[in-house]
Amino acid sequence: MRKLVLHSLLLVLALTAMLPLIWLLCAAFKSSEDLFSSALLPWGHLDRLTLDNFRQLLGNEPFSRWLINSLFLASATTVLVVTTSSLAGFALAKYDFAGKWIIAIVMLGTVLLPYQVILPGMYEMMYKLGWVDSYFAIIIPGAVSVFGIFLFRQAMLSVPDELIQCGRLDGCSELRIWWEIALPIVRPMVGA
């Protein structure tokens, strides 16, 4: 009985969480006149459901271009964020240098700033660089994530210092130590 109640509760919560997606799917088949007339589907008038929205999207709009842009931007930004975050996290976790804690505190302070505060200054910088309406304006500012750096820092703390010392004794460069020793150990963080 307890499992039945638990599963029923979880089913209700899952359906509640999926409600916006269900509404979106139902709205895709409605005409613009019926969009807000009923909650999900116009049950009394199912004959008014249409595929015109899909015809317009795929026929009259450059949907394939939008899809390729989205895939490219998401892929490029993800690769850059993982690379820069893992390098910076490795440096913060495994190297001792002057000002390390000051840098960490300043970085944490930037997390407290809402994105809307930074946006006007970022737009001005992109304008002065001539990057407005270009891929660079999206990829470069998104290439560094303070949150990602601190996640990788915590993960890199689990890399044994002895392995890093062994890599140095074997003649590995610091980048090779990061790539071949530290990064494989924190592979779950890379996936996350």
Distance of CA 31 to the CA centre of its chain: 33
Token pair listed for 76:
């490029």
Q: Clarify whether residues 108 and 185 are in a common domain.
A: yes
Q: Using an 8 Å Cβ cutoff, are 160 and 184 in contact?
A: no
SS3 27: helix
Of 15, 39, 60, the last residue of a domain is 60
Mean pLDDT of the chain: 91
Q: Clarify whether residues 36 and 126 are in a common domain.
A: no
Q: Clarify whether residues 71 and 55 are in a common domain.
A: no
pLDDT higher at 99 or 48: 99
Q: Clarify whether residues 139 and 161 are in a common domain.
A: yes
Q: Clarify whether residues 73 and 147 are in a common domain.
A: yes
155: domain CATH number? 1.10.3720.10
Q: Is the dihedral of CA 38, 41, 46, 48 positive or negative?
A: positive
Mean pLDDT computed over 95-124: 90
Q: Clarify whether residues 23 and 113 are in a common domain.
A: no
Q: Clarify whether residues 33 and 72 are in a common domain.
A: no
Mean pLDDT computed over 67-87: 96
Length of the chain (residues) = 192
Of 15, 43, 60, the last residue of a domain is 60
Q: Clarify whether residues 56 and 71 are in a common domain.
A: no
Number of structural domains found in the chain: 2
Q: What pLDDT score does 92 carry?
A: 93
Q: Clarify whether residues 117 and 183 are in a common domain.
A: yes
Q: What pLDDT score does 74 carry?
A: 95
Of 44, 60, 76, the last residue of a domain is 60
Q: Clarify whether residues 14 and 103 are in a common domain.
A: no
At residue 26 the predicted structure's pLDDT band, cuts being 50, 70 and 90, is confident
> Domain span at residue 100?
66-191
Closest by CA to 80, choosing from 25, 130, 138, 167, is 138
Q: What pLDDT score does 81 carry?
A: 96
Query: 18 pLDDT exceeds 80?
Result: yes
pTM attached to this predicted model = 0.76
Q: Clarify whether residues 176 and 126 are in a common domain.
A: yes
Q: What pLDDT score does 159 carry?
A: 94
At residue 164 the predicted structure's pLDDT band, cuts being 50, 70 and 90, is very high
> pLDDT by residue (tens digit) across 123-148?
999 999 999 999 999 999 889 999 99
Q: What pLDDT score does 108 carry?
A: 87
Q: Clarify whether residues 13 and 100 are in a common domain.
A: no
